[in-house]
Chains A and B, each alone.
Chain A
């Protein structure tokens, strides 16, 4: 599921950047951009907001790179910053009256829920859209404690260890919450699992 890049390389890459090789940051962005955008998208439910916030997170991380402690995994740090940024964004959004119900936002969301497909038939397109919406609905219905772990695991592609470090919870709790969250998802998405 992961990008295939060993995590020990992250610390080496950061060290190279801090020595002045700014271009090495490009490798870190390429390594994590897909995972970060997808993680944020599942929390924010808007592709535009997710990509904008992911960009902000990368910039924030770059500026604070000298404070990175190599004894922890870079991915854990990155996703912690992203998680805090997403929570801030969600809080701010709740304070705004109009933004949630603007027609433009809804169009953006529904478009984003479609499965990416190069050339789908109209039926396939409709089916993909239905599945995308069903998945998002099920994720949204999960209790927050399960939802964030499911999203970290399946969209952030973090390992159990990384999630445990990020959430500061015992490994057993991570396994248990993922187990329960997935059981709930399986029940609700049962019709789509046999496709």
Chain B
């Protein structure tokens, strides 16, 4: 009976469409145990409001505990010895002197001369050994006493050189090379490896040869993007506490549930003996998605010493070996009719994620615009450098730098305004509205011909668009509890990496229960709670707010039943609002939420709900992950001033119009969009990992020579968020972190072109690059 009830469906009518354009309705079949359709934000009291962060007070007082702040009795400190050479064979390791150093408790060899795979070191910074000692200083002193005999091997750290047939090989066989698609955009399995080049990964539709034959105009251009490092302010780190009754780790992670699985597998433990905790997380942009080798070292050292071990990377290690956004080279060919209609797009790309995979340029070229014929061939190139990994819209951010400039170049060839061309070729009604709003806000009609400003400082306007997936993690669960004193808790292992996930959960529950967000106690970031989604792929909000609302609604039904008895009413006639529970059409028949809770027959009631499928189904499903049917858009406009005498480009203003389904918290959304834009601006103008070709070392492995945008480089930013209702889930919310980052560098590049009339096709757009493009100094790169 109960089983049948859970599978039952009912029909609900949902708000549908873009609020600023006009809302309609759509009917959806939804699981019978899920709440009724949520009204548009304009009719809500907590969701859609700028609720302050639930952990704001802890964060502004310094009370909140990050991983490095966790101290346990008997804590040991670990440090890692790393290779000084970009390619070497370890002939011997002698740890005897290090082991005798005072305070040293354990030494973990990582490289091994006896194992052909573990004897080879393939980049500067790859771990060689780890030490646990009673202090960081003792551990570092011990590292200096480890004697390693390295046989230096030929190496290559430059992608163009690595592609040559004569280049030293990073991997001598396909079997040795990584083959999966762990971070792949795109890096499918079983692609051929020739020299250092793996691929191509091919994607095709229609017939590009015919498409180009039909075209009136063909634009062919090449673009380059650099390696960007994540630079989370909180380094990667872990405190591992191995005990007889189980393992607890405190780790700066974007995915507690995933790390728990990795640990269970790596150490042969049952899941219920592994607990992963992250109270607060100091920034994650993709690189903290997995356990990481440092995590395994710390756990192994804790196991061996029977003591808790803390291992925090320092900034140099962060820069060399904690992941990065791969460098890319891409050639785009676009054919179009005179009216702008696209006939064919072909994409050829080579990218390098160092010794790892995943250096593609995403799916903008394939999917952003209407084009019947497409062919893409993307390659990974191995070099002797630290592994790349996912970073804020992997693939699509470097890809947009290419495609969105190429579209502007096409518009110019067609003598069309860039917005008019996109109006012609972009099928998305969401981006159409975003272009309209953004163009009005930035004052697009002020845009002049390229380089038209007189005088040495030239201003320009540019824009670019983004495309991203609406990701959902199906395996996302949430518990809501009401206690007899009226207090409420929301629990999930989902972590808050700074986006405000906990606050959004509190808002979701409060909206259902008729309370304030601050009334809800948020308990997250701990695998003792129901398993939550990862905070990557912009999927946390989309995955965890629907089950939070469902669980809150289910708990509320129990509470209403108790209240109904006392009020002599039917439960379905009661509503919860403003801290009260009352008869919907007779407010005098009611009681406070606390009074209702006090009537509970048990000390606490609780419901656990899991993410159901999007009501209209998914576009695609891969295990626990799925893609919603609609994609995420986003259009950004930039205004720049370029000093043609110094080459300095300043971004004066950015207007960002973004969408994420239902906006849950406009203050936090604005914050995240600021972050995406500032990171994109920093990518456009400043950041670049520099490897010395002669030593393979990163020469700017710190935060003073690796330049990040600071407050003085941050432009005025206008953020506008569309409300785009689709009737997809109990909250209809999706993510925004990655979409906010995709278009920025391309919009700035298009604005720089509009300012100076010369196109920058390579990142970063430094003063030297700009002066080179202007012909004032010799060009640095082709």
> Do A and B truly interact?
no
Interface residues of A (CB under 8 A from B): none
Interface residues of B (CB under 8 A from A): none
